C-alpha cells in the first residue's frame, strides 16, 4: 500500500486530481496517509520518472499496434532561455482516435530545421518507430518549420515518403482575419493608442480603475493588444467599447488629444462594428480548437464563415446592420453623411476580409468526399482504385450501416464499424481522418511548462514531469507497485 501512496503523492505534484484516481481502491485510513506521509524530494522525483517511463511504454506500444501515426510539433523558449520542442501524436487505439502527448525534446543550441529533425529522428529511432509510419505532420507557418529548402517539414517528407503536411487552421485564421482595410486599421490603431496611454504607467492604471469603480462599471480595466494572441483583438475592442464613457472621461481629465476621438460619432460607430465582427471571428476561432476534429469539419466551418461574410456584405449594401448589434446601435445615431462613411468602411473591410480568407482557405475540389458520407457519394467522383471502388458500393447500399453512421462519429464509423469487413477502404479513410487540424494543444503544453519550470525551479529537467502532466494515459500503478520498489531508500 505504501508503494501506491508514494506514486500517488508524486503524481499529485503534477496533476492535482491524481489522488482521486486511487481513492476508490483505498480505505479511509490509507487515503488519510496520502496527506501525511513524508517523502524525500529524490523519492518523489524517482516516482515521477517511473510513471513517465510507464506512460511512454504504453504510448509507444499503442502507436506500434496502430501501424500509422500523425504528428504535430512546435518549439517554445522556457524561463531559462532553453528551447523546448513539444510533440503530440494521433493514432488509432481500441478502434477510436487517440490524441496523446508524445515527447518533449530540449534543443541545446539553435532551433533550426536540422536541429529539430535530428532530435526527432533520434527519439523515434530510440523507441522503435519508423518515419514510414508517419502519414502527416502539422505545424505552424514558421520558417524553421515550413521553409522551402531548409524547413523541418521538407526534411520529414524526404524520410516519410507517404506523409503530407498540414498548415494549422488557427495559424491560417489569424493572419486571414487581418484584412482590415485603411479605415479599419486606423480605427484599431487609435484604440491601441488609447489603451496604451492608460496602461503605460502604474499611476494611470490605478486612477482609471478608481474612476471605473466610482462610476459603477462592471469592467475596471482595458486590455493590452497582443498580435500573437488569437483572441486578443476582440477582447481589446469589446472592453474598449464597453468602457468608452469611462475612457473618454479619463482621457479628458488628463488633457490627452485622444479624447477628441470620442466626439467623432462615426469613429465610435466604426469601433463598435469592429468589436462585433471580431466577436464573430473569435467564435469561429474557439470552435476549431479542442480535440477530435478532422479536416472535413474544419474546412466546413471556414467555408460557412466565408459565406457569412458574403451575406453580411449583401446586407450592408441594403443598409441592414442588425447582425452587428453594437454597430447598428451607434449607426442609427449618425446622419446621412456619417452612415455613408460607415457603410463604405464596413463594405471595404468585409471585402478585404473575404479576400484574405480565400487566400488562406482556398476552395478545393476534394476527391475524398466519399469518406464523410459514403451513402450519398457519386462513385465517379470518388477517384478510388477499381477494387476499392467496388468495395464502396456495398456499404453505400447497406441501410443498417447507414443507421450506424448517424449514431457514431465519423472516425469511429470507419475505424470500428467498417475496418473488419472492408479493411483496405477503411484504412484509406482513417489515414485521411488521422492528421491534426490545429496546434492548439501546444497552448496547454506551454502553460503546463510555465507552471512547472519557474524561476524558483529553473534547473528542473521537465521531460518526465511534463509527460505526466500532459499525457492522458494513466500510469499502470499496479505494475509499478509489483516491481518491488521501496517507498524510499534508507538514509
- Domain count of the chain? 3
- Is the same domain home to 348 and 450? no
Residue 488 resides in a domain: no
pLDDT for 227 equals 66
Residue 30 resides in a domain: yes
Q: What distance in Å separates the CA atoms of residue 212 and residue 218, rounded to the nearest whole number? A: 8
pLDDT, mean over the chain: 84
- Is the same domain home to 194 and 337? yes
Along the 491 residues of the chain, how does pLDDT read in single tens digits? 455 555 555 555 555 545 555 455 455 555 555 555 566 777 888 888 999 999 999 999 999 999 999 999 988 888 888 889 999 999 999 888 999 999 999 888 887 888 888 999 999 999 999 999 999 999 887 766 776 667 888 888 888 888 999 888 888 887 777 766 677 888 888 999 999 999 989 999 999 999 999 989 888 888 887 766 667 777 889 999 999 999 999 999 999 999 999 999 999 999 999 999 999 988 998 898 888 888 889 999 999 999 999 999 999 998 888 899 999 999 899 999 999 999 999 999 999 999 988 888 888 766 788 888 888 877 766 778 888 888 888 888 888 888 988 888 889 999 888 888 888 888 889 999 999 998 888 888 888 888 888 888 888 888 899 999 999 999 988 888 887 565 555 54
Tell the residue number behind the cell numbers 489515414, with chain if given: 431
pLDDT for 112 equals 82
Tell the residue number behind the cell numbers 469592467, with chain if given: 219
Global confidence as pTM? 0.85
Residue 106 resides in a domain: yes
pLDDT for 2 equals 52
- Is the same domain home to 179 and 313? yes
- Is the same domain home to 181 and 249? yes
- Is the same domain home to 52 and 132? yes
Q: What distance in Å separates the CA atoms of residue 108 and residue 75, rounded to the nearest whole number? A: 12
- Is the same domain home to 112 and 211? no
Residue 487 resides in a domain: no
- Per the structure, the complete domain to which residue 380 belongs is given by 369-433
Condensed to tens digits (0 to 9), the pLDDT of residues 444-479 reads 888 888 888 888 888 888 889 999 999 999 998 888
pLDDT for 107 equals 85
37, three cell numbers: 506521509
Q: Of 360, 385, 416, which residue sits at a domain end?
A: 360
Condensed to tens digits (0 to 9), the pLDDT of residues 60-72 reads 999 999 999 999 9
Q: Of 312, 337, 360, which residue sits at a domain end?
A: 360
- Is the same domain home to 51 and 160? yes
- Is the same domain home to 9 and 109? yes
Residue 491 resides in a domain: no
Name the nearest CA neighbour of 189 among 233, 228, 250, 253. 233
Upper half-sphere CA count for residue 454 (Cβ side, 13 Å): 3
Contacts 24+ apart (CB under 8 A), 219-222: 219/243, 222/194, 222/195, 222/198, 222/247
Residue 490 resides in a domain: no
pLDDT for 102 equals 94
- Is the same domain home to 156 and 229? no
The interaxial angle of helices 386-396 and 423-433, nearest 10 deg, is: 90
- Is the same domain home to 102 and 210? no
- Is the same domain home to 12 and 141? yes
Residue 489 resides in a domain: no
Residue 312 resides in a domain: yes
Condensed to tens digits (0 to 9), the pLDDT of residues 282-312 reads 899 889 888 888 888 999 999 999 999 999 9
- Is the same domain home to 36 and 72? yes
Q: What distance in Å separates the CA atoms of residue 219 and residue 239, rounded to the nearest whole number? A: 8
Q: Of 325, 360, 395, which residue sits at a domain end?
A: 360
pLDDT for 219 equals 87
Amino acid at each position: 500500500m505504501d508503494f501506491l501512496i508514494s506514486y500517488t503523492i508524486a503524481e499529485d505534484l503534477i496533476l492535482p486530481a491524481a489522488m482521486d484516481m486511487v481513492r476508490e481502491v483505498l480505505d479511509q485510513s490509507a487515503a488519510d496517509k496520502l496527506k501525511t506521509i513524508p517523502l524525500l524530494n529524490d523519492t518523489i522525483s524517482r516516482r515521477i520518472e517511473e510513471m513517465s517511463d510507464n506512460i511512454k511504454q504504453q504510448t509507444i506500444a499503442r502507436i506500434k499496434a496502430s501501424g500509422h501515426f500523425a504528428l504535430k510539433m512546435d518549439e517554445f523558449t522556457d524561463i531559462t532561455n532553453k528551447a523546448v520542442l513539444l510533440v503530440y501524436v494521433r493514432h488509432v487505439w481500441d478502434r477510436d482516435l487517440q490524441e496523446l502527448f508524445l515527447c518533449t525534446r530540449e534543443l541545446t543550441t539553435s532551433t533550426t530545421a536540422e536541429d529539430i529533425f535530428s532530435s526527432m529522428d533520434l527519439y523515434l529511432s530510440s523507441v522503435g518507430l519508423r518515419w514510414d509510419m508517419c502519414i502527416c505532420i502539422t505545424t505552424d507557418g514558421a520558417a524553421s518549420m515550413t521553409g522551402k529548402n531548409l524547413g523541418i517539414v521538407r526534411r520529414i517528407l524526404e524520410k516519410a515518403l507517404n506523409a503530407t503536411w498540414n498548415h494549422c487552421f488557427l495559424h491560417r485564421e489569424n493572419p486571414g482575419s487581418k484584412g482590415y482595410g485603411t479605415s479599419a486599421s486606423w480605427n484599431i490603431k487609435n484604440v491601441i493608442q488609447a489603451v496604451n496611454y492608460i496602461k503605460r504607467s502604474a499611476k494611470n492604471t490605478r486612477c482609471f480603475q478608481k474612476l471605473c469603480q466610482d462610476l459603477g462599471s462592471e469592467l475596471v480595466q482595458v486590455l493590452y493588444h497582443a498580435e500573437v494572441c488569437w483572441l486578443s483583438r476582440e477582447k481589446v475592442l469589446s472592453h474598449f467599447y464597453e468602457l468608452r464613457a469611462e475612457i473618454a472621461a479619463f482621457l479628458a481629465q488628463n488633457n490627452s488629444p485622444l479624447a477628441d476621438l470620442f466626439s467623432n460619432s462615426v469613429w465610435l460607430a466604426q469601433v463598435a462594428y469592429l468589436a462585433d465582427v471580431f466577436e464573430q471571428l473569435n467564435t469561429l476561432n474557439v470552435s476549431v480548437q479542442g480535440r477530435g476534429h478532422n479536416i472535413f469539419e474544419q474546412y466546413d466551418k471556414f467555408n460557412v464563415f466565408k459565406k457569412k461574410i458574403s451575406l453580411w456584405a449583401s446586407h450592408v449594401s441594403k443598409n441592414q446592420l442588425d447582425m452587428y448589434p453594437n454597430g447598428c446601435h451607434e449607426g442609427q445615431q449618425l446622419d446621412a453623411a456619417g452612415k455613408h462613411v460607415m457603410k463604405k468602411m464596413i463594405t471595404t473591410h468585409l471585402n478585404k476580409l473575404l479576400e484574405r480568407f480565400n487566400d488562406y482557405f482556398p476552395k478545393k475540389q476534394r476527391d475524398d468526399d466519399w469518406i464523410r458520407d459514403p451513402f450519398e457519394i457519386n462513385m465517379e467522383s470518388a477517384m478510388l482504385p477499381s477494387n476499392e471502388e467496388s468495395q464502396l458500393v456495398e456499404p453505400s447500399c447497406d441501410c443498417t450501416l447507414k443507421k450506424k453512421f448517424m449514431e457514431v462519429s465519423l472516425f469511429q464509423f470507419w475505424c470500428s464499424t467498417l475496418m473488419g469487413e472492408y479493411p483496405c477502404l477503411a484504412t484509406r479513410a482513417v489515414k485521411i481522418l488521422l492528421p491534426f487540424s490545429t496546434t492548439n494543444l501546444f497552448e496547454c503544453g506551454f502553460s503546463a511548462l510555465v507552471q512547472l519550470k519557474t524561476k524558483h525551479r529553473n534547473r528542473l529537467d521537465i521531460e518526465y514531469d511534463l509527460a505526466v502532466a500532459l499525457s492522458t494515459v494513466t500510469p499502470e500503478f499496479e505494475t509499478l507497485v509489483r516491481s518491488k520498489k521501496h517507498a524510499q531508500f534508507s538514509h
